[in-house]
Each structure stands twice: as structure tokens, then as C-alpha cells.
Amino acid sequence: MLESLVFGSVALILILSSIMVVKSRQVMHSALSLAAMLIGVAGIYVMLQAEFLAAVQILVYAGGVVILIVFAIFMMRWEK
């Protein structure tokens, strides 16, 4: 019962954050939603008892890829 409730809440977070990645008009909000989605995927890995994959998911994807996206956003010049 508790596992189903936790899985449902993590799945809801995954669905909402993935929709926000696509629907957001601001790139920074999209990058933050992507980070939330990748952390949610790590939560699913923990529920599947794959702790190593969860750690790799957080370190490589949520840590590395999202930071590179944020740096690219900050380094671009937005001329009006």
C-alpha cells in the first residue's frame, strides 16, 4: 500500500515536470523542470532497488547535464 502511494506520487512528479519541460516558455524554468524529472527517475530506480543507477542518474545527468545547460543559458547573450 505504501509502495503504491510513493510510486504514484513520484510518477505524478515525473509526469508534471516532463510536461513543464516541454511547455515552459522560459529556458531556465525548463532546465529546472528537467532536473526535477531526472531526480524523479532516480527515485524510481531507488524503488526498484537499483541504488547504483540512482546515484549515477543524479551525479551524471541531474548534476552534469543540467549544470551544462544552465551554464549555456547564462553564457548566451540575449540581445533585445
Q: Are 73 and 28 in contact (CB under 8 A)?
A: yes
Q: pLDDT value at position 46?
A: 96
Q: Span 22-45, mean pLDDT?
A: 92
Segment 13-19 shows an average pLDDT of 96
Contact, 45 vs 54, CB < 8 A? yes
Residue 60 has what pLDDT? 92
Return the domain boundaries, the chain. 2-75
Does the pLDDT value for residue 15 go beyond 80? Answer: yes
Q: How far apart are CA 10 and CA 44, in angstroms?
A: 7
Q: Is the pLDDT of residue 80 over 60?
A: no
CATH code linked to domain 2-75? 1.20.120.1200
57 pLDDT above the threshold of 60: yes
Provide the residue type at 21 as one letter: V
Instruction: Please tell me the distance from the alpha carbon of residue 4 to that of residue 45, in angstroms, as a whole number.
Output: 15
